[in-house]
Amino acid sequence: MPKSRPSQRSSTNAQRSTESRHPAVAEKNRGRWGAFAGLITLALIAFPLSATIAFATNPASQKLFGGRLEDASRGGYITFWWLMSLLIVSLPFLVGFGITKLSSRGLAIVGGVVALFVIAIVILGQLFVY
């Protein structure tokens, strides 16, 4: 058997050490990307979140909405807006967790759930506001 040259051995060892460190570095970066995406999502939902909390804490705002929300009970109106606030607050955590922990298939599933969530908000808004 021929002996391998020293330059081949060192390049093979360098490849092995890079490969063994690569997953840990990638996981660390995924965590940072997840936190960054969650922060961006939080910035994007700040205004809708403040609006839903304002509607939930001021029952007199029920008169601003004509139709079904105006006719709803006071407790139902407050519950509706607190539920919307909680769902909106969960979005940054879902985005950050999705990017950090999930595979590409998992990210597609989470994206589908978020899309369904947005569709549900639009439908609920159409039912109760108009």
Long-range CB contacts (< 8 A, 24+ apart) of 52-55? 52/81, 52/82, 52/84, 52/85, 52/88, 53/81, 53/85, 55/81
Please give the model's pTM, rounded to 2 decimal places.
0.58
More confident residue, 126 or 56: 56
Please write the tens of the pLDDT for every residue from 49-101. 998 898 888 877 777 776 666 677 788 888 888 999 999 999 898 888 878 88
